[in-house]
């Protein structure tokens, strides 16, 4: 398996200036981000929001796969039918107590919300990588990820691969239009005009 260790330069103001931090080799993320998008499509197929996540160790091994389960019943093995049944939380509930969380990378198809981003920080996950920014529901709208005290030890890698960002935006756009207020949908149309056209 590939090693996910990267030399990523932090750019604290990427959100406000529309910049993506430079990455030494963005392709190292591709397989994992593609998996999150596949999980997102599976969620959509069963009536949940199209968001997927995988948790990867320092050796590039996937230790947990999750997807949004808000629209699905809860089971003995899975949190479902609850507002907290986001893809990232699905991953964290599966794993339980994290061993060496600083060596883990959380990959998601969509920028985490405040709950999932906050949980990642509190659990001391070493890196978060997402395929597509969420200009309304993503935590970055309300706080600068790298400026938040709880996130100082977490490396943030937003949207490293433009093709996958486009794919994720197209996948989530109908949900953004359905679930977000007019202001949120306007932010999505501004950020992703091509992907939201005709939705």
Residue 111 contacts residue 168 (beta carbons within 8 Å): no
Residue 39 contacts residue 49 (beta carbons within 8 Å): no
**Element housing 179 (H / E):** helix 162-179
10/117 Cα distance (integer angstroms): 17
Q: Decide if pLDDT at 179 tops 70.
A: yes
Reported as a pLDDT band with limits 50, 70 and 90, residue 24 is low
29/41 Cα distance (integer angstroms): 19
56-94: pLDDT as tens digits: 999 999 999 999 999 888 876 787 778 889 999 999 999
**Element housing 155 (H / E):** strand 155-158
Residue 68 contacts residue 82 (beta carbons within 8 Å): no
Q: Decide if pLDDT at 38 tops 50.
A: yes
pLDDT for res 47 = 92
Kindly state the tokens that stand for 61.
């091994």
Please give the class, per CATH, of domain 26-161.
alpha beta
Residues in contact with 143: Cβ distance below 8 Å, sequence separation at least 6, in sequence order: 114
Active site residues: 88
pLDDT for res 1 = 37
1-21: pLDDT as tens digits: 333 333 332 333 333 333 333
Bridge partners, residue 149, by sequence:
none
Please state, for a pLDDT cut of 90, what percent of the chain lies above it: 69
Residue 49 contacts residue 43 (beta carbons within 8 Å): yes
135-176: pLDDT as tens digits: 999 998 887 777 777 777 889 999 999 999 999 999 999 999
Sorted by where each begins, the domain ranges of the chain are: 26-161
């Amino acid at each position: 398996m590939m090693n996910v260790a990267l030399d990523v330069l932090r750019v604290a103001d990427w959100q406000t200036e529309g910049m993506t931090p430079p990455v030494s080799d963005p392709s190292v993320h591709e397989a994992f981000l593609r998996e999150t998008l596949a999980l997102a499509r599976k969620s959509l197929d069963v009536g949940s929001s199209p968001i997927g996540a995988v948790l990867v160790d320092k050796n590039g091994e996937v230790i947990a796969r999750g997807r949004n389960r808000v629209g699905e019943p809860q089971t003995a093995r899975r949190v479902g039918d609850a507002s907290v049944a986001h893809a990232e939380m699905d991953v964290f509930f599966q794993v339980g107590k994290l061993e060496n969380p600083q060596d883990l990378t959380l990959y998601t198809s969509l920028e985490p919300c405040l709950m999932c981003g906050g949980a990642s920080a509190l659990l001391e996950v070493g890196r978060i990588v997402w395929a597509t920014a969420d200009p309304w529901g993503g935590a970055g709208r309300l706080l600068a990820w790298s400026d938040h005290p709880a996130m100082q030890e977490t490396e943030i890698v937003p949207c490293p691969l433009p093709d996958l960002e486009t794919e994720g935006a197209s996948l989530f756009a109908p949900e953004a239009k359905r679930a977000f207020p007019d202001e949120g949908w306007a932010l999505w149309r501004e950020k992703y005009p091509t992907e939201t056209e005709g939705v």
